[in-house]
């Protein structure tokens, strides 16, 4: 059988990284190990921080799953890396930054392992490390942090491998307590009684029962501890606190250690899958200690990255310097008792068959290695088995503490390894014998349960191979059928047994077995009993007790000893499990199966068997041979009967009459014996918590009782590791099987199953008295050869037997090319074992082997890697005696390699590597490692980015574009800072490193707010690497805006600003290749046409999104119109056409293919030998997905996103799998729709370009869309039109902040201040555009953070404006300008005095007049204008009493509002007004008017119905229109939430008539106040000179209640405190409680205002698109798909950013808003707008809170204004159309004059920064400082009308700006694309033959025209709606 080659497995390692900064340089000298340890400071406390990951080799998952899921086991990982990565790792290792410690194949268990398995697994690991990494890959530190107790032999093995230190965690709790109090956590440990001082090793232990991070300081991706935030401005700032807390931890820990050094582990099980996060925080921790420098015990702290090795070195230096003496230990750390009744002694026996299987496997491994070596076959032939056995040493493998499924996987590997190795043995023997035909040996895996196919039929041959170095004789059992058999020697039984005598050393014998008849001649032979109770042979026999039938006495070689074996069991306690052994406290003593036993006795010439069956699950067969020095107890236990619900632990107890005085002996990993004393520990006080299990010890091979007085010794040698004890003198018990029904740690309980029943375990105990033969574990290997004869029936490959006390421990091939071998010789007796054999012995290697001659032998460390002469171990003066003779290192290292006589002292193992040509070892030593790669110099590279960097496509194939991305919301469930510090920074870092590894990979970076934060934290080196990635198109900026803005609620000005901010940053930081070419709006909830237009104007070629109305999408999928072309503007021509693609299924990875660290989908498993292999099937199912997709897209290209919200924190998880997905399509030759497949890493740009090319080549026509994608419904009843209004105060604050933002940018420009002056506000505004910010769909805590950040930005801006204006005016003293951000709730400290000044700044480029409201105190006020004129004011009452705010903010509310008209404010300039209170009594009066219904002025007024107290009509612009207005609400269903609007009825409910109507009149302002109830108030205001009527409304505090018609006030639970600095949960918003308080049947309320006119508007209306173009709407209608009327209200709602209007043939009625609101016209003549929402449910779209806002300790109060205008459409006012009137109002309301207060007298009372005003259809959209260095400004001019809106104003207009600005003169102006990042001439948008039509060259829209303009030509022409963007250079 051909066994497929498997690349295997597993490397357990611990890596640590030091902070040593290294530049890449060829000249670096090699430095690693102790050389690169950080310096310690003798006068400080040195704190070694040790990053590590503990990666179990299978535990809860199989190794394969672990590897693929999370862990990068070095070796497996290495096999899959490319050369560049390997070089990088080598460099890290050679610089000591990545340090490998321990380095074994696994972190082995120490209780159950055989020393041979341990040595082998270290040899395997260290050899590979040395060959791969050179000397720096070798370690001198043992790291056994997890194993459950520690053996002395492990310490000895470490020492013999040249290790300096041994570090572990788990040991007896009493020992630990003592060590803590004695400061002996560091100690020196003697590993061997026999091997002298060189077996001492420095040992350090943990103070805690965990190797995890210090509590509260876990910085892994899997932890929830607070990140370290160093930004003092952040509300999450905690740096100082973390340092102080950590210092507290150090202070506690350092008192337990003997020196001024302390190590702290920073890691845990399978951590560091995303290392950037971990290291970033540790970096901050370390720098925090430098910054804050806390002291402990009067000492400073020196905190640094370190490694366990460096810790050991530091302690050693201290000890030498201070002459300190450490504790010296000579016993071991077994067993592990973790608490009074927590004895980890169960795992000594757990899974007994597994433990046995490991031993068998090791046996085959040794034979395989020997024969491969002898035959000169390649060493790697033994690799699979060596690997499987190496894995098996793991502390959750051989211990039996893994899950059952994992055990099966271990066995699978072992079985495969053995199976394969038998083939290799055949091959080796065939070669050694020089025969043609393969010997074809077979292996009977189940011989011990009597199954062996090979012996089933007829005659066969048995080959017995003896792996020992001397001749042995063995009894051999072979399962056969009944019958008569002959072997070359003796006879047979059912189990054919024969004595194989004198099998030669390292040799074999072949036995022919023949069946001679069908009837067994011996089968029923009667017993040969000499004496009724004495059974056996002359010298070997047993004597039975007459009464009970039990054995009473045994004799070997005639020596009698009273020994009674019995099978017994313990009842287990619930606390018993795989790890722990705990007898039931009420039934502590072991129970005997029965008092009497029936003996079945079988006799043959070879042996006599006594079978004692006590129950069917406890059987002993005592086998006596004639001539052996042992009696065998062949025991069988199981299936354990647990029918009564109790677990049981089965033991075999041997009772003797020896006087043992409480002592017994157990072996340490099969080597030295350790003396044990019952209820005693040599180094600390024993407390008897568990009298049985507390006395259990691991027995690996043998356990011994000694009667010192009688000089008699009784030993039991066992065939696997078991737990054992001597609980009474003369007794010895061994636990053989376990069945527990509970798990002590809540996992899987240990009741093993096999073959459908409880596990049956079988094994042997060899009982002996006298000198011990510990080699029983090495027995001849049984192979059957049914077919071929072996020419030589007996052969040895040794020329002579080795002496009786010498064991050829290892012979294996070392290096095939150099023809070298590894040989270990062992003296296997201890110094006092035997007077003859425990002496030194000498072996001559020269002619030992028959097949080769040894020429030289170089002695090495036990792991075979380091020549002994190169070893220098740490020196500990307290143990400084030099060893003599063969134990002395000095003697041994002086030995000449050609001296082949090797002497051995007792217990000594000497390891030699040998050659038999004259090639010397120099070859190994001088191996040169090319580890220093040249850093790539990419600065001069010509960038190949954009479309040129796409992977190639092929239109004759199906092209699958895989697009890795992460969707990183700029705030949503967490704040921006939280998301960044907890997740996003690691996403970017992780992706960058993964991209650097493999040039094929691609990633798109989207949100620049995060990228900016990340960039600023990076080192130059990283920045250069990122630039390289960008320049090569491997990392592509997509979208690139500060945030992925919402499209419903945003105003175009803020959108443009946020792209400008981000794209400028990207351009400055990364250059041209960072210009985004695609919009990526995958999450926003509906899509505006204006956004498509803006993207086009930014130069983008396409936009991608996921959320489209379900009806629209299903039609698109049917019609293959998921890809389309979209016309962004009705005014701007074909340049606003943009390719648009709808994602197939949201933006996450296809179902089942999420490979992210946070997902649980199957990884792609490519190893065909793995039982969980799935490569082909995963590729197939992916292909199916693509087949499906292709039915919805018009070309042969599909785009498949791989990502989701905050994915890719551990980028390799996904990339590795995507790499394999791609590879798989090729490997398996997948075709789709009969076409071959081209599957590539791609980006949206590459996809769009590919589609474009395809469309052009095949003349495909795409759909052209001209309307927009609003509203968005994801099902027939869930329309996302609620968020058009959600969080109305937040939406207003954003608009308000924009107003200030423009003012601030203008004044900063005029004052020539730095471009980043307003950065905080710009950034906050950018964030605020995000689709979970301005939408109101974030959590409340996040909203508060948005507001915090915005208000902070506003305050900074105001203060900058003050200094700037003061400087412009040449003032010495700052004007100290202030703004009253709370003036809308009558709070303004600045206007609370009797005399103050207002500086009113107009940000419009034309002069404007404006009514200003100022909260003031009552009295008579004198207002003086800029020219000294006295201005009429109007003193009114506040709309509402806002005193409740006073209570919360301790700010004073003012009791009056003073209106005045600021007349003719200059463009981009200001007027100053003086306010003086001249009398404390006001003259204005307030009256209730009952008989005058008409309020206003002669040409503009309103009529009120005094009966209903509601509006009746409005007269404006010479038109009187019947308009009524009223307040209503909808009751919402449980589906209405932050996103979704779902009323429970189509009818809204009135609040009823207003209860009060208060009319107040001033000279130029008339007010009517309507009060509906405590919660709803409105003032309708008519102004003398305005074209609009203002509706100033206040709603709240409103809370929904159980019944339908009224509101009642409920206290909301409120725990906000923005002053608290700690996070995360400091805003607790107890929404659940509120819901409960109002009852389960409560309805949410959606409050609307409705204007009802008598216009016949035909159910048609218009809403604006982001404040720009108007879009036609019609009730119950969609232009491009069939409307289904399932949500008649919500589905007719549209976003209203600034304006909604209705009209009939002549007359037009418009409502303008001061923020975004949802609105509709459900019936002809009506307009309704939703004002606020109080909801009691979450709509299950992720936010997880319901929208019931509160502020100032009560439900939210919302105040806002509508500006209502009406008139003749064509002749609204003064020759302007209504459209022009509305545009004017909208602009004046968007960019209101900003009011500054100042106590100072401003000398210049009027100032304009413009020399002239711009025409009324032109708007100076932007003026801001661009680059400080070259005196440039960004300037945008906008035509604010659409093309058909006004006959005059909708014309092209030309402005001359050469002399426009008063503070600077423009020299030249270069035109740019809209974001200001790309010069117009560098714009290269994709052309689409179908829609791209050049504009008439004379039009200012024409690109050619614009490009032809000279930069000094300052006459700029604008077409309607055109925005032109310039960077102006000024003088
Ligand atoms: Zn999102």
| Ordered DSSP codes for 1275-1327 | SSS-B--GGGTSSHHHHHHHHHHHHHHHHHHHHHHHTT--GGGGHHHHHHHHH
Contact 807, 487 (CB under 8 A): no
Task: List own/partner pairs for 834-842 with CB under 8 A and 24 or more apart.
Answer: 834/771, 834/805, 837/771, 837/804, 837/805, 838/805, 838/906, 839/906, 840/885, 840/886, 840/903, 840/904, 840/905, 840/906, 841/803, 841/805, 841/806, 841/903, 841/904, 842/901, 842/902, 842/903, 842/904
Q: Is 1476 left (phi over 0), alpha (psi -120 to 50) or beta?
A: beta
What distance in Å separates the CA atoms of residue 315 and residue 321, rounded to the nearest whole number? 10
Contact 1103, 1079 (CB under 8 A): yes
Contact 197, 879 (CB under 8 A): yes
**Token digits for 856?**
């030289």
User: What pLDDT score does 830 carry?
Assistant: 83
Count CA atoms within 13 Å of residue 1659 on its CB side.
9
Of the candidates 971, 974, 978, 969, the one whose C-alpha atom is nearest the C-alpha of residue 234 is 978
Q: Return the H-helix or E-strand segment holding 1495.
A: strand 1494-1497
Gap from CA of 945 to ligand 1 centroid (Å)? 27
User: What pLDDT score does 145 carry?
Assistant: 82
Of the candidates 50, 26, 28, 25, the one whose C-alpha atom is nearest the C-alpha of residue 37 is 50
Gap from CA of 967 to ligand 1 centroid (Å)? 6
Gap from CA of 1084 to ligand 1 centroid (Å)? 7
What distance in Å separates the CA atoms of residue 739 and residue 576, rounded to the nearest whole number? 9
- SS3 of 1773, please? strand
* Dihedrals phi, psi of 1059, to nearest 5 degrees: -70, -40
Model pLDDT for residues 507-518, shown as the tens digit of each residue: 877 777 776 666
1226 is catalytic: no
Contact 1184, 1152 (CB under 8 A): no
Gap from CA of 1578 to ligand 1 centroid (Å)? 36
User: What pLDDT score does 14 carry?
Assistant: 32
Q: How far is CA 502 from the centre of its chain?
A: 62
What distance in Å separates the CA atoms of residue 1473 and residue 438, rounded to the nearest whole number? 110
CA distances from 1436 to 287, 340, 1398, 1567, 1575 (A): 59, 80, 19, 9, 20
Gap from CA of 1204 to ligand 1 centroid (Å)? 9
What distance in Å separates the CA atoms of residue 277 and residue 1727, rounded to the nearest whole number? 53
Of the candidates 1594, 1601, 1602, 1590, the one whose C-alpha atom is nearest the C-alpha of residue 1572 is 1594
Gap from CA of 972 to ligand 1 centroid (Å)? 8
| b/e sequence 1094-1132, b meaning 16+ C-beta within 10 Å | bbbbbbbbbbbbbbbbbbbbeebbeebbbbbbbbbbbbb
Model pLDDT for residues 1793-1817, shown as the tens digit of each residue: 999 999 988 999 999 999 999 999 9
Gap from CA of 548 to ligand 1 centroid (Å)? 80
In this prediction, the residues of the chain whose per-residue pLDDT falls under 70 are 1-31, 54-77, 80, 95-97, 270, 274, 444-458, 479-498, 515-532, 744-747, 755-756, 770-791, 882, 914-943, 1448-1450, 1482-1492, 1598-1642
Contact 247, 240 (CB under 8 A): no
What distance in Å separates the CA atoms of residue 895 and residue 900, rounded to the nearest whole number? 10
Gap from CA of 1044 to ligand 1 centroid (Å)? 8
Gap from CA of 1083 to ligand 1 centroid (Å)? 5
**Token digits for 824?**
């270990």
CA distances from 1201 to 961, 1068, 1143, 1183, 1787 (A): 8, 29, 8, 15, 41
CA distances from 1170 to 479, 1165, 1817 (A): 32, 8, 73
Gap from CA of 1298 to ligand 1 centroid (Å)? 23
Gap from CA of 1337 to ligand 1 centroid (Å)? 10
Contact 510, 441 (CB under 8 A): no
* Dihedrals phi, psi of 561, to nearest 5 degrees: -145, 135
Query: Which residues are within 8 A (CB) of 711 and not within 5 positions of it... i.e. 6 or more apart?
Result: none
What residue has token string 């009120």? 1504
Of the candidates 570, 585, 539, the one whose C-alpha atom is nearest the C-alpha of residue 349 is 570
CA distances from 1272 to 11, 1102, 1113, 1860 (A): 52, 20, 11, 45
What distance in Å separates the CA atoms of residue 913 and residue 911, rounded to the nearest whole number? 7
Contact 1631, 1638 (CB under 8 A): no
Q: Return the H-helix or E-strand segment holding 90.
A: helix 83-94
- SS3 of 364, please? helix
Gap from CA of 1283 to ligand 1 centroid (Å)? 14
**Token digits for 1559?**
């009319």
Gap from CA of 1280 to ligand 1 centroid (Å)? 14
What distance in Å separates the CA atoms of residue 1413 and residue 1394, rounded to the nearest whole number? 16
What distance in Å separates the CA atoms of residue 1250 and residue 1199, rounded to the nearest whole number? 11
Contact 814, 380 (CB under 8 A): no
Gap from CA of 1292 to ligand 1 centroid (Å)? 21
- Measured at the CA of 311, the angle between CA 310 and CA 317, to 5 degrees, comes to 85
Gap from CA of 1696 to ligand 1 centroid (Å)? 22
The neighbour count for residue 1499, using CB atoms within 10 Å, is 10
Gap from CA of 1324 to ligand 1 centroid (Å)? 17
Q: Provide the whole-model pTM.
A: 0.71
Residue-level length of the chain: 1931
Gap from CA of 1102 to ligand 1 centroid (Å)? 19
Gap from CA of 1333 to ligand 1 centroid (Å)? 10
Gap from CA of 976 to ligand 1 centroid (Å)? 12
Residue tagged active-site, from 573, 833, 1083, 1112: 1083
Omega within 30 of 0 (cis) for the link into 1495 = no
- Measured at the CA of 58, the angle between CA 57 and CA 61, to 5 degrees, comes to 150
Contact 732, 388 (CB under 8 A): no
β-pair partners for 1529: 1549, 1647
Of the candidates 1381, 1384, 1391, 1331, the one whose C-alpha atom is nearest the C-alpha of residue 1356 is 1381
**Token digits for 1768?**
């003749």
Query: Which residues are within 8 A (CB) of 425 and not within 5 positions of it... i.e. 6 or more apart?
Result: 367, 368, 371, 441, 465, 781, 783
What residue has token string 């459409």? 1769
Gap from CA of 1645 to ligand 1 centroid (Å)? 26
Gap from CA of 1886 to ligand 1 centroid (Å)? 28
What distance in Å separates the CA atoms of residue 280 and residue 1016, rounded to the nearest whole number? 13
Contact 614, 567 (CB under 8 A): yes
Contact 1515, 1580 (CB under 8 A): no
Gap from CA of 228 to ligand 1 centroid (Å)? 25
Gap from CA of 498 to ligand 1 centroid (Å)? 77
- SS3 of 1595, please? strand
């Amino acid at each position: 059988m051909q066994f497929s080659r498997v690349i295997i497995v597993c490397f357990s390692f611990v890596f640590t990284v030091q902070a040593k900064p290294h530049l890449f340089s060829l000249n670096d000298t090699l430095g690693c190990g102790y050389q690169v340890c950080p310096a310690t400071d003798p006068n400080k406390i040195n704190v070694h921080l040790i990053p590590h990951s503990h990666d179990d080799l299978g535990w809860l998952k199989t190794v394969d799953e672990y590897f693929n899921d999370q862990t990068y086991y070095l070796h497996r990982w290495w096999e899959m890396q490319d050369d560049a990565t390997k070089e990088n790792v080598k460099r890290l290792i050679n610089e000591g930054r990545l340090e490998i410690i321990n380095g074994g194949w696994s972190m082995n268990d120490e209780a159950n392992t055989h020393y041979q398995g341990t040595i082998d697994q270290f040899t395997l690991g260290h050899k590979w490390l040395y060959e791969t990494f050179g000397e720096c890959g070798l370690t001198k530190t043992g790291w056994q942090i997890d194993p459950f107790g520690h053996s002395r032999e492990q310490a000895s093995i470490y020492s013999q491998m040249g290790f300096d230190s041994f570090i572990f965690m788990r040991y007896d709790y009493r020992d630990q307590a003592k060590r803590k109090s004695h400061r002996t956590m560091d100690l020196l440990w003697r590993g061997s009684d026999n091997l002298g001082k060189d077996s001492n090793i420095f040992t350090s232990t943990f103070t805690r029962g965990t190797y995890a991070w210090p509590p509260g300081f876990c910085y892994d991706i899997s932890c929830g501890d607070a990140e370290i935030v160093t930004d003092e401005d952040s509300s999450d700032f905690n740096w100082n606190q973390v340092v102080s807390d950590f210092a507290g931890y150090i202070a506690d820990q350092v008192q337990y250690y003997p020196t001024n050094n302390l190590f702290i582990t920073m890691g845990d099980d399978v951590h560091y899958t995303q290392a950037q996060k971990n290291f970033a925080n540790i970096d901050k921790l370390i720098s925090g200690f430098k910054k804050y420098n806390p002291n402990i015990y009067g000492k400073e702290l020196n905190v640094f990255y370190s490694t366990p090795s460096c810790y050991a070195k530091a302690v050693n230096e201290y000890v030498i310097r201070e002459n300190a003496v450490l504790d010296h230990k000579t016993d071991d750390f077994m067993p592990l008792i973790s608490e009074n009744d927590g004895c980890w002694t169960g795992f000594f026996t757990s899974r007994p068959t597994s433990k046995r299987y490991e031993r068998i496997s090791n046996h085959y491994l040794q034979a395989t290695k020997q024969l491969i070596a002898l035959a000169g076959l390649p060493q790697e032939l033994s690799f699979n088995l060596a690997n499987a056995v190496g894995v098996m040493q793991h502390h959750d493998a051989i211990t039996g503490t893994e899950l059952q499924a994992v055990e099966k996987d271990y066995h699978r590997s072992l079985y495969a390894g053995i199976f394969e190795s038998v083939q290799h043995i055949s091959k080796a023997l065939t070669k050694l014998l020089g025969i043609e035909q393969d010997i074809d040996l077979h292996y009977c895996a189940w011989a011990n349960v009597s199954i062996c196919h090979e012996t089933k039929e007829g005659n066969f041959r048995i080959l017995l191979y003896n792996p020992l170095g001397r001749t042995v004789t063995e009894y051999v059992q072979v399962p056969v059928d009944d019958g008569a058999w002959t072997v070359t020697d003796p006879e047979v039984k059912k189990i054919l047994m024969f004595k194989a005598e004198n099998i030669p050393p390292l040799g074999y014998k072949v036995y022919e077995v023949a069946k001679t008849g069908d009837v067994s001649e011996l089968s029923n032979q009667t017993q040969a009993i000499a004496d009724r109770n004495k059974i056996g042979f002359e010298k070997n026999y047993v004597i039975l007790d007459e009464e009970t039938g039990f054995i009473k006495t045994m004799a070997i070689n005639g020596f009698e000893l009273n020994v009674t074996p019995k099978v017994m069991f313990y009842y287990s306690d619930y606390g018993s499990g795989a790890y722990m052994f705990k007898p039931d406290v009420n039934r502590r003593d072991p129970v005997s199966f029965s008092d009497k036993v029936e003996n079945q006795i079988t006799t043959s010439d070879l042996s006599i068997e006594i079978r004692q069956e006590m129950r069917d699950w406890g059987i002993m067969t005592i086998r006596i041979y004639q001539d052996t020095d042992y009696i065998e107890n062949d025991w069988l236990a199981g299936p354990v009967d647990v029918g009564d619900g109790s677990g049981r632990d089965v033991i075999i107890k041997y009772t003797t009459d020896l006087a043992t005085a409480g002592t017994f002996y157990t072996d340490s990993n099969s080597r030295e014996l350790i003396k044990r004393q019952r209820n005693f520990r040599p180094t600390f006080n024993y407390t008897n918590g568990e009298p049985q299990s507390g006395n259990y010890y691991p027995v690996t091979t043998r356990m011994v009782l000694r009667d010192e007085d009688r000089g008699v010794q009784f030993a039991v040698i066992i065939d696997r590791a078991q737990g054992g004890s001597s609980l009474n003198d003369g007794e010895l018990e061994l636990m053989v099987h376990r069945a527990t029904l509970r798990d002590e740690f809540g996992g899987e309980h240990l009741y093993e199953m096999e073959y459908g029943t409880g596990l049956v375990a079988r094994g042997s105990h060899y009982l002996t008295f006298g000198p011990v033969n510990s080699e029983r574990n090495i027995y001849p290997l049984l192979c059957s050869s049914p077919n071929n004869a072996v020419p030589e029936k007996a052969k040895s490959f040794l020329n002579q037997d080795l002496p009786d006390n010498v064991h050829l421990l290892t012979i294996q091939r070392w290096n095939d090319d150099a023809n070298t071998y590894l040989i270990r010789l062992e003296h296997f007796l201890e110094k006092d074992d035997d007077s003859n054999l425990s002496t030194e012995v000498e072996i001559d290697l020269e002619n030992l082997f028959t097949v080769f001659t040894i020429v030289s032998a170089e002695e090495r460390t036990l792991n075979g890697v380091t020549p002994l002469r190169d070893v220098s171990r740490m020196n500990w003066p307290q143990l400084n005696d030099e060893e003599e003779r063969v134990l002395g290192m000095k003697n041994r290292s002086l030995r000449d390699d050609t001296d082949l006589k090797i002497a051995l002292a007792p217990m000594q193992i000497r390891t030699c590597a040998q050659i038999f040509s004259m090639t010397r070892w120099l070859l190994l030593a001088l191996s040169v490692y090319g580890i220093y790669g040249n850093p790539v110099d990419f600065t001069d590279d010509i960038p190949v980015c954009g479309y040129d960097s796409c992977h190639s496509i092929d239109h004759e194939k199906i092209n699958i574009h895989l697009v890795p991305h992460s969707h990183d919301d700029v705030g949503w469930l967490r704040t921006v800072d939280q998301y960044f510090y907890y997740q996003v920074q690691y996403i970017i870092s992780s992706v960058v490193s993964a991209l650097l590894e493999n040039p094929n990979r691609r990633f798109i970076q989207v949100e620049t707010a995060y990228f900016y934060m990340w960039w600023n934290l990076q080192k130059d080196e990283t920045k250069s690497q990122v630039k390289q990635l960008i320049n090569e198109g491997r990392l592509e900026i997509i979208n690139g805006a500060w945030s992925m803005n919402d499209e419903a609620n945003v105003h175009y000005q803020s959108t443009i600003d946020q792209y400008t901010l981000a794209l400028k940053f990207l351009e400055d930081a990364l250059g041209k290749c960072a210009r985004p070419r695609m919009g990526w709006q995958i999450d926003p909830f509906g899509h505006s046409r204006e956004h498509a237009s803006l993207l086009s104007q930014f130069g983008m070629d396409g936009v991608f999104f996921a959320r489209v109305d379900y009806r629209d999408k299903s039609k698109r999928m049917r019609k293959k119109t998921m890809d389309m072309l979209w016309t962004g503007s009705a005014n701007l021509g074909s340049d606003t056409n943009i390719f648009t693609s709808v994602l197939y299924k949201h933006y996450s990875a296809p179902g089942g293919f999420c490979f992210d660290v946070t997902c649980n989908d199957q990884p792609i498993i490519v190893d065909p030998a793995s039982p969980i292999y799935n490569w082909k099937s995963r590729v197939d199912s992916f292909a199916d997905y693509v087949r499906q997709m292709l039915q919805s897209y018009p070309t042969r290209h599909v785009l498949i996103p791989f990502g989701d919200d905050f994915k890719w924190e551990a980028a390799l998880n996904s990339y590795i799998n995507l790499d394999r997905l791609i590879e798989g399509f090729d490997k398996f030759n997948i075709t789709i729709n009969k076409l071959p497949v081209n599957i590539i890493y791609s980006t949206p740009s590459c996809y769009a370009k590919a589609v474009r090319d395809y469309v052009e080549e095949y003349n495909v026509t795409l759909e052209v869309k001209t309307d927009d994608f609003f509203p968005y419904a994801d099902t027939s009843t869930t329309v996302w039109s609620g968020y058009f209004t959600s969080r109305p105060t937040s939406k207003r604050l954003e608009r308000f902040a924009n107003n200030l933002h423009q003012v601030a940018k203008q004044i900063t420009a005029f004052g020539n201040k730095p471009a980043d002056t307003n950065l905080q506000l710009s950034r906050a505004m950018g964030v605020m555009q995000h689709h979970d910010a301005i939408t109101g769909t974030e959590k409340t805590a996040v909203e508060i953070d948005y507001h915090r950040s915005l208000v902070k930005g506003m305050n900074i801006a105001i203060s900058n404006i003050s200094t700037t204006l003061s400087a412009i005016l040449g003032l010495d003293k700052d004007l100290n300008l202030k703004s009253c951000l709370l003036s809308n709730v009558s709070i303004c400290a600045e206007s609370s005095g009797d005399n103050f000044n207002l500086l009113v700044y107009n940000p419009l480029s034309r002069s404007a007049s404006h009514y200003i409201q100022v909260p003031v105190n009552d009295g008579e006020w004198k207002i003086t204008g800029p020219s000294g004129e006295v201005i009429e004011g109007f003193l009114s009452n506040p709309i509402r009493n806002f005193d409740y705010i006073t209570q919360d903010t301790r700010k004073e509310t003012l009791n009056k509002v003073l209106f005045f008209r600021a007349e003719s404010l200059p463009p981009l300039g200001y007027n100053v007004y003086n306010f003086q209170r001249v009398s404390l009594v006001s003259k204005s009066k307030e009256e209730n008017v009952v008989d005058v219904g008409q309020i206003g002025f002669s040409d503009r007024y309103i009529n009120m119905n005094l009966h209903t107290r509601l509006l009746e009509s409005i007269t404006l612009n010479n038109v009187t229109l019947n308009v009524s207005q009223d307040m209503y609400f909808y009751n919402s269903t449980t589906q209405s939430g932050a996103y979704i609007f779902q009323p429970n009825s189509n009818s809204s409910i009135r609040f009823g008539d207003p209860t009060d109507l208060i009319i107040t009149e001033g000279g130029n302002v008339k007010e009517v106040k309507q009060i509906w109830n405590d919660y709803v108030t409105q003032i309708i205001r008519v102004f003398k000179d305005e074209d609009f009527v203002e509706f100033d409304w206040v709603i709240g505090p409103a809370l929904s209640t159980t019944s339908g018609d009224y509101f009642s006030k409920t206290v909301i639970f409120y725990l906000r405190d923005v002053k608290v600095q700690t996070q995360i949960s400091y805003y607790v918003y107890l929404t659940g409680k509120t819901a409960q308080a109002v009852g389960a049947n409560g309805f949410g309320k959606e409050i609307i205002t409705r204007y009802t006119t008598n216009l016949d508007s035909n159910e048609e209306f218009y809403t604006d698109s982001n404040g720009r173009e108007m879009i036609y709407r019609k009730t119950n209608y969609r232009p491009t798909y069939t409307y289904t009327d399932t949500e008649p209200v919500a589905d007719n709602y549209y976003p209203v950013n600034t304006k909604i209007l209705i009209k009939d043939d002549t007359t037009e009625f418009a409502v303008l808003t001061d923020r975004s609101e949802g609105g509709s016209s459900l019936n002809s003549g009506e307009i309704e707008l939703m004002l606020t929402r109080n909801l009691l449910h979450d709509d299950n779209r992720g936010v997880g809170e319901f929208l019931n806002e509160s502020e100032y300790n009560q439900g939210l109060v919302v105040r806002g204004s509508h500006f209502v205008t009406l008139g003749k459409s064509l002749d609204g006012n003064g020759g302007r159309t209504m459209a022009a009137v509305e545009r004017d109002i909208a602009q004046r309301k968007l960019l209101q004059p900003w009011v500054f207060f100042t106590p100072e007298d401003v000398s210049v009372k009027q100032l304009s920064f413009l020399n002239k005003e711009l025409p009324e259809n032109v708007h100076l959209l932007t003026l801001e400082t661009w680059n400080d260095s070259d005196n440039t400004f960004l300037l945008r001019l906008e035509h604010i009308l659409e093309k058909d809106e006004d006959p005059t104003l909708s014309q092209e207009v030309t402005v001359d700006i050469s002399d426009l600005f008063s503070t600077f003169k423009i020299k030249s102006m270069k035109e740019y694309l809209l974001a200001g990042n790309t010069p117009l001439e560098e714009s290269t948008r994709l052309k689409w033959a179908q829609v791209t039509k050049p504009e008439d060259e004379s039009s200012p829209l024409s690109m050619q025209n614009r490009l032809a303009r000279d930069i000094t030509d300052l006459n700029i022409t604008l077409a309607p709606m055109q925005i032109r963007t310039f960077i102006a250079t000024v003088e």
